[in-house]
Amino acid sequence: YTFTSNIKSPYMIFSSYTDLVYFFISAEDFRSLFGFQLVEDLENLLHSGLFKAAYTGNLNLFKGLALKHAENEGIGVTEAIKKLTLEDGRGSLHFAAAGGSLKVCKYLLEELKLDVDSKDGEGSTPLCQASVKGHFDMVRYLLEKGANPDASNELNVTPLHYAAMSGETKIITLLLSRGVRIDVVTSLGTALQFAASHGQQDAVKVLLDHGANPNAVNSQGMLRPLISAIFVKAWECMKLLLQ
């Protein structure tokens, strides 16, 4: 005979209802009931819930979790949001941009006055996140709010590189209309190289039509867009580069 319990532990219950638990009990209550480790785990769950709400665009949930976190820390909401980041430096604005969550972004930028060009641990801005994910409306909004269209991270990668890699031609065209540098060189090459190495033929065409250098090499002076296109068997990209 094997006994199987269907009763969930407190941690399992709270893991299932991260977005609710912080509205009903304080951190001090948890410490007295369950000890410090569970409190730390629940804080991590709160943070995860906050970032998920930012990514999915659940503004009401995001505001509620942000307020509760601020209360637990004894600081204002804006300060709490600024301080709350993952180990890689990504914060709420990065997640909102990556998810295309305009309402959350507007709240963060227009009400909390966060920096539109806030950088993560690698120096990437929210505009980079929106560009690689293909969120055109988000890219346009961030640019309207003053985002630097040509901001580069520690590897010298710009939003144009990210858009090229994902084949987002509308975003590429929008960024180019803002006067971004088209042939910024990284260890993996220019934006054209990024597009070619990912088989993004439409992006390759747009970049070439706007004057991208088809013979540009990477920062080590080796890789060229044509070589990358051949390597990944992107034959249509190869044809465009040979024209």
**Residues 84-104: pLDDT tens digits?**
888 889 999 999 999 999 999
DSSP-assigned beta bridge partners for residue 85: 91
Q: What is the DSSP string of 17-62?
A: THHHHTTT--HHHHHHHH-HHHHHHHHHHHHHHHHHHHHHT-HHHH
Please identify every stretch of the chain with a pLDDT value under 70, giving residue numbers as ranges. 1-47
Q: Strand locations in 109-239, DSSP E?
A: none
CA nearest to 154, candidates 189, 196, 190, 120: 120
Single-letter amino acid code for the residue at 176: L
pLDDT tens digits, one per residue of 71-83: 888 999 999 999 9
Instruction: Annotate 162-203 with DSSP letters as a single string.
Output: HHHHHT-HHHHHHHHHTT--S---BTTB-HHHHHHHTT-HHH
- The model carries a pTM of 0.80
